[in-house]
Structure formats: C-alpha cells, structure tokens
Amino acid sequence: SRLGCRHALTPSTAALGLPDRIVTRPATRRVRSSRSMSAAHAADAPPLPGRLDPARTAVFVCDVQERFRTVIHGFDHCVHVSSMMLRAGKILGMPAVVTEQYPERLGATVDELAPNLDPRAPPVAKKLFSMITPEVDERLGGMNRDQAVLMGLESHVCVFQTAMDLMARGWEVHVLVDGVSSQRPTDRAAALRRLEASGAMLSTSEMALFDLLKTAEAENFKAVSAIVREKRPEPPLPSL
C-alpha cells in the first residue's frame, strides 16, 4: 500500500540513533503589529526626497517689483502666490528671502507684499540675475535650511539662475509654477522644462503648503488652509 511503501522508505528513529519520542516546541517569536512596524519604519527611515519640512524650508521671493506689473504675463499670480507663501511662512516658522532687481530703475517690491515682509530681513537689492548674491549667501549660511520654495520672476532669467545656484549648493528646490512667470509665455514654458530637467521639483502653492502641513490635525491647519482657499486671480497661468 501507499502507506506501507512510505513506511518502508522512511528510516526508523532507532536506525538514525534518535530517541523514540522527539518532543518539539513551536518556535516562539514576538510578532509586532503592522501599525507598530509602520510607525517604527517611519521613525527610522530617512526623509523622502521632495517631502517639504517646515524646519528645513525657506521661502524665496524673486523680484516681484512694481515696474514689472504691466509687462509680466500673469503678474497678479506672482503677487498672490508670494503673499500666500510669505504669510504661511510666518505661521509655519519658515524664514523668507526677498530680492529686488536694480530697484533704482525697476522699483521696490510691490505694496501688496509689504505687510508680510520681515523687517529683520528686508529685501536685498541686486544687479546679479540670481538671488544668490554674497549678502543672500551669507544669510543662507546662518539659516540651517536646505529646502527652498521659489516664486517670482522672470522664470527664464532670475528664477532659473536662482534655482540652479541653490541646487549647486545642495539645496532641494521646489519651483511654484502658479507663482512664476515671464513677459512671454514661451520663455516661462522653456524655463520650467529646463528647471525640471536640471533637478528642480515643480510644484504649486497649494501642493507645497499641504505637504508642509502633512495632516488635517496639524496645529496650523486652519490658518494655512484659510490662505489656500483665498480667491485666485483670473485667468489662470498656462498649465505645463
């Protein structure tokens, strides 16, 4: 029979020199719940690239000045997003860097942003296209930050060169596409493509703010979400 055949092929315990009765105990291993394992993994894992952290982030507002108001495509969007991010930055404890390109000829930062500027860190006048002037570079050295949310103008000149200079210094740069523009939409589109290809992360103001909050239970959720819900200028800037 199949049973007999199996017994015939199976050596006895005596033939193997083993005791007649082998007592086995099931292995005991403490099994952690999936919830505790997930929490432990999250605590031990390094931060994911691209996830914004208020403790690591600084707000960069590039050259949103009065003289550009009538020549920049979608200028009101740059003003609105800059205002949003400066106000949210104060709520979340994020420092801001604001620059002005050749203000003697191009005017100061627009009045709409004045109430949100930190008097301890006034706008930096510059002739360099990039925001990363020696004065700004010195400020960055004392910030202990390595993530930037960047907005302003023009996309293909000052914003582009600022992002490249920050990335060269090891910063992770998030360009807010609803808050950057140029005189010509084609230049804006080319800048965004080039920035993404170079390693910058394309985002929006709403995307960035909710990433900074992480949860509806965040202490500052109501204050920041109220900023997000504000009416936006129309028409919207071109999509990517």
Q: Over the stretch 171-209, which tens digit does the pLDDT of each residue have?
A: 999 999 999 999 999 999 999 999 999 999 999 999 999
On whether the CB atoms of residues 110 and 81 are closer than 8 A, the answer is: no
Lowest mean pLDDT among 33-42, 113-122, 164-173, 188-197: 33-42
**Which of 78, 158, 165, 178 does the annotation list as catalytic?**
158
46 pLDDT band (50/70/90 cuts)?
A: low
Q: How many residues does the chain have?
A: 240
pLDDT tens-digit series, residues 131-150: 999 999 999 999 999 999 99
**Which of 44, 53, 76, 126 does the annotation list as catalytic?**
126
Is residue 178 flagged as an active site residue? no
Is residue 90 flagged as an active site residue? no
Q: Is the pLDDT of residue 54 over 50?
A: yes
Is residue 63 flagged as an active site residue? yes
Specify the pTM.
0.81
User: What are the CA-CA distances from residue 225 to residues 59, 73, 144, 174 (Å)?
Assistant: 18, 27, 27, 20
Question: What integer pLDDT is reported at residue 177 of this predicted model?
Answer: 98
Residue that the structure tokens 């000045």 belong to: 65
Q: Is the pLDDT of residue 74 over 80?
A: yes
Question: What integer pLDDT is reported at residue 115 of this predicted model?
Answer: 95
**Which of 63, 78, 165, 178 does the annotation list as catalytic?**
63
